[in-house]
Structure formats: C-alpha cells, structure tokens
Structure 1
Amino acid sequence: MDQDKVASRTSLDPEKNVDASSVGSDQHVVNPELERTVWRKLDIWILPIVTLFYLLSFLDRTNIGNAKVAGMQKELKMTNQEYSIALTVTYVPYIVAELPSNLLLKIVGPNTMLPVMLTLWGVVTACQGTVKSYGGLLACRFFLGLLEGGVFPGLVLYLSFFYPRMRLQTRIAAFFSAASISGAFGGIMAYGIINLNGKHGHSGWQWIFIIEGVITVFIGLISFLLLPDSPDAARFFNAEEKAYVKATLKADGAISDEATDSFSWGEVWKAFTSIQVLLVGVIFFLSGVVLYSLAYFTPSIVVSLGYTAARAQLMSVPPFSVAFVVTMIAAYISDRYQCRGAVTVFASVLCTIGFAMFLGSTSHRVQYGSLFLSIPGTYLMAPAISTWNANNAAPHVRRATAIAIGFIMTNSGGILATWLLGSLSPAPRYTKATKILLIFSVFMGVFAALNIVYLQRENKKKAETRARSTRTEEPAGLGDKSAWFIYSL
C-alpha cells in the first residue's frame, strides 16, 4: 500500500476521548508537495541525530567485547565468570531505568533528557579506561547501565512524536542499523586504537574506552543545540509544515490531544495486560538473548576460529555491514507493504539457518559464513518488533509503557546472553549456547506467527463492528472507540 495513501486515512486512537459523532471529522487531506518536504526535512534534521545517539549507545555498551579481546580480561585478572558478572551488572540498572525514563521523557522534554543521558554515559565510558581493578570496572558498568537504560525505548518513542505509524519502521531501522554499524565501526576503531598500547601509561584496551567516551561526551554537548522537543519546536519547519505534520499524526492515531495523552496509571496497566504487547514481549526477550550474544561475543567467536586478536577485530566487520544493508531493505518492504510480522518471521528464519550452520559444521569457513545469516537476522529483528510494538499501542502513556516493556524484556534477555557464551558455554565450539540460540530463533518465528493470527482476528472483529454500526446507522465509536484503530500486521 502506498505510504501517501496510508497517511491520509483516519485511524483514531483507541482510547481517544472523542464523541461518537466526531468520528470521521478528523479527515486529513494529503498534500503531495508537503508530503515530500516534511518527511525529507525530518530525515535530514532528526534521523541523523537519533542514529548517532544509538550508535554511541550501542558502541559504548558493547565495546567491552573489543576491550576483552585487546587484553582487559587478562590485565584485570578476570575469570570468564567475572566477565559475565561485569556484563550482567550493566543490565540490572538498565532494566530498572527503562520504564520510568520513558514515562518521564515527555514531561522533562526529550531535547533535554536525551542529551543529558548521552553526555553523562560518555563520561562513565571514558572512566572505564582509567580503572585499575575489577571492582572499579563493576562500578562503571553499573552507572553506564543506569544512564543508558532509557535510550533505545526513548528514541523509539521520540520518533513516534514525529512520524506516522506506517513510516516508522524505516526510520527505526535506520537508527537501529547504527547498532550493526557500531559492530563494524567498533571493530575498525578497536583495531586502530589498540596500537596506542602503552601511550601515556594506558593499555590499548583502556584507550578504546577513553577515546570512544570522549567522542560521546562531545556529541552529547552539541546535541543540546540540535534536538527539537516536538514538531512545534522544530526550527526547520515553517508554520504550514508544522500544522501539516500534526494533522497527519493525529489522523494516523500516532498522537492525540493533551487530555488524552496525560498520564494515567490505568493506561500503564492496560499496556501490561495487552495480549499483543505480551506476545511481542516474548519475542523481545528471545531476540535480546540472540542480539547481545552476538554483540558481545562476535570478536571472541572469530578468535575461536583461529584468527589473531587484532585480525578478529577486522573480521567481525563484514557480517555487521551486511546486517545494515539487509535491515534497511527489509524495513522499506515492511513500511511499503505494512508487513511487520512477516519481516519478523523472515528474521527468525535467517537466525535459525545461521545457528544451524554454526552448530552442524566443523569448518571454520562455514562457521564464519554462518555469521552472515545470524547477525543480519537478529539486527533485522529488533527494528521490526520495535515498530510493531509502537504501532499497536496508544494513547501516549500506553505506547510509552509498551515500548518500555519491550526493551525491559530485551535487556532481560541480555542478562542471559552475558552468561551463554561466557562461563556457561566455553570456546571454541560454544555448543550449548548455539543450541539455545537456535531454539530461541525458532520460537521467535512461532510467537510472531501467533501474534499475526491474533491481530488478524482482532481486526476482523473491528471490521464487523464497523459494518454493523453502518447498517444500523450508529457510529461504532459510541460503544467501542477502539473499533476505528486498525492493528498493524
């Protein structure tokens, strides 16, 4: 379905406080010239900043994998179990921070809250490069998780303030692809940075943290000047463009009036009891295990295939580069044909084939080749389910809560990932971990299929309600306001 046509339909918020007689009064007329202009401006002014935020977030959280290969574990005299504990410590405050952060985002203002978090975690990242003990590393990882916890859910929520639902996955994929770019970019940077080993009394692994942390602080300070709070506050829009964006978002059900969007514990509870949120939440958990297993341990996996530590940093780049291309192509297809669930199933198939190849072969070439399926699969999965989740939750508080729930589940999976390829499943085969990741990949597709079936059934019920109201000349919104909100499949 053409995106311009999608933007023109009326898709009211399921809990919007509108009178039944007003249904249909929010019809939005598409202006082709403004369509071309406003989304292009957002893509130029907003998307690069959001992408950079997430690139730095993922880079600063996962560069410990590069530091491990570069000698951190040996110098700090850490066992595999202690390394897994250091990773786990990051996720405990990370998970705790996600829901409060998302609920506060609109109240504090994303133009203030997001840059503050970015700047502070950059300071913490740099501090990791000065630690002399395992205890010092644990302290840094705790505060890194606390400050980064609201980033990904906050960025997804922030983009939903600017883009209609059916334009959202391409944008989420664009900034999430920064994660795959960070996997490639981090490997290249680490390869160059470790050559500073011994400079000014710091080891190569310490310089990884220091240099990348300083870059994050610099970007964080600049972003205070660049990030708008909302379409109304965007300096790059004129008055007509601001009005058009707001009208498009309201017609699409992406935003509503201030009264509807005000805080309500009832909406928080509805998110926690929503069947589609729970089904996608399971996928978030399973994909989180897969995602962070590969994010943290790809350099170690490549080392186990016989490459040197320095060479492994470079050999981890190509699979992440392929992941970027695959993710963007799939996101375009998903937005174009509104098929979030189908893309999620496809991602699970890629992961399943990749882990089956790694598990079933003893050839290092085949095992390395499997990374070109499993890594693109898991990096494609995240933006698909993130968009799917955001598309199907409204009004604002329920959407903010649903997004936070998704990432709480993702990072709960991250805790398991820190142990799977660490102390629980040693190199070089990682047999136990690979079997678990293979099973999880299959179940990601199963739960995606279940959610598709559930949403199709719910949409059918809504269609019947609307048809019945048309026959009786009674607006469906009078008894069931959610009848006008069509779930994304």
Structure 2
Amino acid sequence: MASNISKVDIHVDDAAVSGHDIGAGITADQELPDADSNLERTVMRKIDLWLVGFYSLVYVFRVIDSSNYSNAAIINLENGTGIKKQLGLSPSQWAWTLSIFSYSYMIFEPSNTLAMKVFSPSRWMFVLILGWGISACSSAAAQDFAGMMCVRFAIGLAEAGFYPAVLYHMAFWYKPIEMPQRIAIFYSLGQLSPAVSGLLAYAIGFMDGLGGLAGWRWLFLIEGLPAIILSAGALWLPDYPETARMLTDEERDFLQDRLEKTAPSGKRGHWDFESLKRLIKDPTFYTFSLYWICHGIGGFGVGTALPTVIYELGFTTTSNSQLMNIALDYCRCE
C-alpha cells in the first residue's frame, strides 16, 4: 500500500504548499506518509488525554455521587445515627427520595443535551459538574424529607446531561470508527466507582460523630467534593478542533482534514430538525430504548438495594456490608 503514495498526482501551483492541500490529495484507501502518521499519533494522543482521560476521571465520581445513596442507607445503623432515623423517613418516603433522582434525569436529559448546541462544551460541562458536586455536598445538610427530595432532584438534573454530552463532544473530534473504542474506555473506567465508593463508605463509617456530624453526612460531603474540584478542569477542555489551544496550527488543520465532512462543527449554530425526524422514524431507536428500560429496571434496582440486602441477611455489620458490596457490584451485569 505504501508504494501507492508515489503514484498520487499532486499539482503544485505555488512554491508554498500547505499541509491542508497535501492532505486533500490522499484518498481514504491510501496510507498516510510517515510524517503524517507521526503527526496523527501526536494529535490523537493529545485529544485522548484531554477528552477521554478527563471525562473518565469525572465519570468515576459521577457514578459515585449518583449511587452513594445506597451506601448511606445502612451506614452506622448500629450507632442509631442512620439517615432514615435522623431524617424521620418512612419506607415510602425513602422510596421517593430514591426515585425522584430518576424523574429529574428523565425530564432534563434531552434538554441538557440540546444545551450543548447553544453553549460551548467546556462551559456547559463546568456548569453540570459543579452543579452535581454542590448538590451532592448539600445532601449532607438535609434535615427532613422535603430537603432530601430537593437535593436528590437537583443531582439528577445536573447529572442527566453528562453522559450524552460527553458522546456529543467526542463526535467533534473523532471519526465514527474511532468512537466505540473511546466510549468503551470511558465507560469501563467508570466501573471503578463501586470499589472507590465501597471503600470510602467503609472508612467514612468510622467518622460518625466527628465534628458533630453523622457518618452519612460525612459520606455526602467527602464524595461530592471531587466533582467541585474537577469542575474547574472542565473550563480548560478544548471545545472544537478549529479552536483548540493545545494544538498547533498544523495540528488543527490536519485534524479538520481527517474528520468526516458530516462531522459536527462548532461553527454551525442551526437546529437540525431533519436529523430528529429521521431518529423518530428509525426502529432501532425504539429497540434500544426498550432494552435500556429493561436493563435499568434490573441493573439499577439491584444496585440501589444491594448494601441493604447484604446487611439484612443478618450475618455481618454495616461496615463489613460496604466491603462485601464491592465484589457483588462487579458481578452485576451493567
């Protein structure tokens, strides 16, 4: 294949030929010259570090902030300082504080994603990450059923836009054939959260009473803080290939040339309703929606109740239940 490069006709009209013009003369079925291959590796390494690396780290704590409520359900029950007792929650009220998160998720996920077409990705990600970090920490200040309902709704509102917005942002930078590998890495690293969450819940349980705060309040404070810190990093994310400050002019031109002509662009500000119509008419959309609903009922339901189920079997303490939950969490099909 490399020998085909010499047969490509490149017409030089000027003494200076830009990298853009050279790249346009190479067809999709031909290999890149060594210089361009090295440039491509350098560019993709930078993008992977900034986007896949940062978003994967944030995703670990996003999953923790959305799932730590199940750890809080049993923390320090033996000491009489459990969350249900201190907030005076009945079984039905506890169920509502669990489910309200999903309602806000369902309502705001579409609108949060559409906001990416209005605001730059870095600014909108900053708002989302900071929003759920503050809301997660605010759970520690809840004093009753109404207060916990409010903060749980706010967490779902902010977290709803993160996952689809990450995929949308990546579409500006990667070819369609390159997306699955990046998404797999991003999602897989997020599955580290059960180990982190379980270990933190075990350790934080020994902080019960420190500073006059119950263990579950410390749990929400400590596990919500990383999101607030990481939100500042979102401000430095590159928005679009044509405006990326971490790339040189040559790298920006090369990246734009290698992307599909149908790739989204930061310069386009219109709403593509034709794409929405095609989506609604596509039966695959409904097939995967049904699959995800069934997956959520089984997978998320088990995950929410698992620490409580382990503890109520009656053969271990609440702190040990947090540790035992780690192994079982990894055995679940998520």
Q: Same fold (TM over 0.5)?
A: yes
Deviations 1:87-130 (A, max 9, x none): 21112222111111111203201110011111122111111101
Q: Is the Cα–Cα contact under 8 Å of residues 55 and 175 in structure 1 kept in the other structure?
A: no
Query: Which letter does structure 2 place at the counterpart of 1:229?
Result: D
Indicate the SS of the match to 1:294: helix
The reply to whether residue 286 of structure 1 matches residue 297 of structure 2 is no
Q: 1 CA distance for matches of 2:118 and 2:299?
A: 31
Q: Indicate the SS of the match to 2:174.
A: coil
Please tell me whether Structure 1 or Structure 2 has the larger radius of gyration of its CA atoms.
Answer: 2
In the aligned structure 1, how far is the partner of 2:83 from the partner of 2:184? 32
1:219-259 deviation digits (Å, cap 9, x = unpaired): 112332x21111223233222322232233216x5446956
Unaligned runs of 5+ in 1: 1-23, 324-371, 379-489
Find out whether 1:246 has 2:256 as its counterpart: yes
1:376-415 CA deviation, whole Å, 9 max, x = no partner?
Answer: x32xxxxxxxxxxxxxxxxxxxxxxxxxxxxxxxxxxxxx
**2: CA distance, partners of 1:286 / 1:271:** 21
CA distance in 1, matches of 2:133, 2:84: 22
State the match for 1:395 in structure 2. Answer: none
CA distance in 2, matches of 1:192, 1:257: 45
- Asked if residue 317 in structure 1 is aligned to residue 326 in structure 2, the reply is yes
Distance in 1, matches of 2:93 and 2:62, equals: 23
* Residue type at the aligned position of 1:207: W
Letter in 2 for 1:140: V
Paired position in structure 1 for 2:185? 174
Query: Structure 1 residues 158 and 107, CA, compared in 2 at 3 Å: closer, same or farther?
Result: same
**Partners of 1:277 and 1:49 in 2: how far apart?**
29
Q: What's the CA shift for 1:26?
A: 9.3
CA contact (8 A) 1:183 1:295 kept: no
Match of 1:307 among 316, 320, 329: 316
Which amino acid in 2 is paired with 1:167?
E
Separation in structure 2 between the aligned mates of residue 239 and residue 289 of structure 1, nearest angstrom: 49
Q: CA RMSD of the aligned region, Å? A: 2.4
CA deviations over 1:416-475 (Å, ceiling 9, x no partner): xxxxxxxxxxxxxxxxxxxxxxxxxxxxxxxxxxxxxxxxxxxxxxxxxxxxxxxxxxxx
Q: What is the CA–CA distance in structure 2 between the aligned matches of 1:255 and 1:26, rounded to whole Å? A: 22
Q: Which amino acid aligns with 1:33?
A: N
How far 1:85 moved relative to its partner?
A: 0.8
Q: TM-score, normalised by structure 1?
A: 0.57
Partner of 2:243: 233
* Structure 1 position 290, deviation (Å): 2.8
How far apart in 2 are the matches of 1:299 and 1:135?
Answer: 24
Which residue does 1:476 correspond to in 2?
Answer: none
Q: In 1, distance between residues paired with 2:127 and 2:243?
A: 19
Structure with greater proportional helix content: 1
Q: Residue 108 of structure 1: SS of its match in structure 2?
A: coil
Query: 2:228 aligns to what?
Result: 217
Q: 1:87 to 1:159 in 2, by over 3 A?
A: same
Residue in 1 aligned with 2:194?
Answer: 183
**Shift of residue 283, structure 1, vs aligned partner:** 1.4
What is the SS of the residue equivalent to 2:271?
coil
Partner of 2:165: 154
Give the drift of 1:311: 0.8
Contact 2:172 2:265 in 1 (8 A): no
Query: TM-score scaled to structure 2, two decimals?
Result: 0.82
Structure 1 residues 50 and 257: alpha-carbon distance in aligned structure 2, compared to 1, 3 A threshold: closer
* Residue from 267, 281, 289 that aligns with 2:275: 267
Query: Offset of 1:25 from its aligned partner?
Result: 9.3
1-structure distance, mates of 2:244, 2:137: 32
Residues 88-97 or 283-292, more deviating: 283-292
Task: Determine whether 1:46 maps to 2:56.
Answer: no
Q: Which moved more, 1:127-136 or 1:279-288?
A: 279-288
Q: What is the Cα deviation at residue 133 of structure 1?
A: 1.0
- Note the C-alpha offset of 1:176: 1.9
Q: What is the aligned residue count?
A: 299
Structure 1 77/49 Cα, relative in aligned 2: closer, same or farther at 3 Å?
same
Q: What CA distance in whole angstroms lies between the structure 1 residues aligned with 2:48 and 2:247?
A: 13
The 5 A counterparts of 1:417-456 are none
After TM superposition, the structure 1 = structure 2 runs for residues 369-408 of structure 1, keeping only pairs within 5 Å, are 372=331, 375=332, 377-378=333-334
1:35 aligns with 2:40: yes
Deviation by residue 1:117-173 (Cα, 9 ceiling, x = unmatched) = 111221111111011111110111111111221111111111222222222222212
CA distance in 1, matches of 2:324, 2:169: 34
- Displacement, 1:200? 1.5
SS in 2 for 1:250: coil
**Partner residue, 1:67:** 72
Q: Residue 318 of structure 2 aligns to which amino acid in structure 1?
A: A
Percent same amino acid among aligned pairs? 25
| 1:249/1:255 contact within 8 Å kept | no
Q: Closer, same or farther in 2 for the Cα pair 1:291/1:246, shift >3 Å?
A: farther
